[in-house]
Amino acid sequence: MTQPGGTAPLLAVRDLKTYFVTGRGGGTARAVDGVSFELYPGETLGIVGESGCGKTVTSLSILRLIPEPPGHIRPGSYIEFDGRNLLTLAPRDLRAIRGNRIAMVFQEPMTSLNPVFTVGDQIAEAAVVHQGLSRGAARARAIDMLRLVGIPDPETRVDDYPHQLSGGMRQRVVIAMALVCRPQILIADEPTTALDVTIQAQILELLERLQAELGMAVMLITHDLGVVAGTADRVVVMYAGQVVETASTAELFAGPRHPYTEGLLASIPRLDRPADRLTSIPGNVPAATHWPAGCRFHPRCPHAWDKCRREEPPLLDAGTPGHTARCWLVVEPQRRRPAP
């Protein structure tokens, strides 16, 4: 792995395995199964994948927000932040990091806000807890934060309850909540998925501006490659609990090496390239309790051969620095079948 600019990573995830024991003998769901990647200071890292690929469980594992049981993070998993393993930190030390130095924004703003507290109280809460702000200072900080995230008339809005705000405004409040302690890392899990297209554009622009102003690293979790193309510096593509491809954004879009990434890119309905028929990936995402043997993508892959059914490929170096793909085609490119 090369580091952009030769700097050390801010956060390093190593061989993360988060499993869930399912009821009624359904087996163990290996939701995240050996995920490794790193996040560098100031960058935006896109984590892309479809539902069930493990992207959300990965982000929740970083802050140890996985309910245990049924979930558990397997021994041997390692998440390094600031020289320490977040997975073995004492609860007290973890609390000093969570919401303070690493913060999170969730998909659905209404469920991340408490309906019986004003938005001002909720924004300032983290600052009161972590920095011991007084009541007056907390209120002033909340107003500052509302102004920062572009909410008009912040002096009045600070006393509003969540139901008085629109969906876009609520997501701004949630972002203000996350950023109140000026975290080094912001994990944004599908921050625009529940929003309308024009509001989505507003929130993406806001995140971009805040990152530039505050200099934090952003982990943007999304199913939408379009969102990633416009915002991320690097991309991690996940499938079936694993990382299947990592590359700089420019390289991933110019030359994807994993057939799953290729399929995802081809199946996006596009304004700039109208097509009569969309390319689609056949079949469905397999269940986390029964990942296919060999390469987990082989039942849906147009190029798969015997080796793919038998042997699971590791993340292979795809040629250029920082570009890796979990596909045997990287070493046996002659096996690629021409498009029909």
The residues binding another protein (CB under 8 A) are: 50-51, 166-169, 196-202, 204-205, 223-230, 249-250, 253, 263-265, 267-272, 274-282, 284-285
Least distance (Å) between residue 191 CB and another protein = 13
What is residue 198's DSSP assignment? Answer: H
Beta strands in the chain (DSSP E): 11-21, 28-39, 44-48, 71-73, 78-81, 84-85, 102-105, 185-189, 217-222, 234-239, 242-248, 316-317, 324-325
Least distance (Å) between residue 165 CB and another protein = 9
Q: Is the CB of 50 or the CB of 121 nearer to another protein?
A: 50
Least distance (Å) between residue 337 CB and another protein = 19
Least distance (Å) between residue 329 CB and another protein = 19
Q: Is the CB of 77 or the CB of 200 nearer to another protein?
A: 200
Give the DSSP letter string of 107-141: S-HHHHS-TTS-HHHHHHHHHHHHH---HHHHHHH
Q: Is the CB of 201 or the CB of 293 nearer to another protein?
A: 201
Q: Is the CB of 187 or the CB of 228 nearer to another protein?
A: 228
Largest CA distance in the chain: 68
Q: Is the CB of 17 or the CB of 234 nearer to another protein?
A: 234
Least distance (Å) between residue 277 CB and another protein = 5
Q: Is the CB of 98 or the CB of 323 nearer to another protein?
A: 323
Give the DSSP letter string of 292-322: PSSSTTGGG-TT--HHHHHS----EE-SSTT
d(CA 283, CA 308): 17
Pairing of strands 44-48, 102-105: unpaired
Single-letter residue type at 139: R
Could you tell me which of 108, 114, 254, 130 has the C-alpha nearest to residue 188? 108
Q: Is the CB of 15 or the CB of 205 nearer to another protein?
A: 205
Point out which residues pair with 84 in neighbouring strands: 81
Least distance (Å) between residue 270 CB and another protein = 6
Least distance (Å) between residue 226 CB and another protein = 3
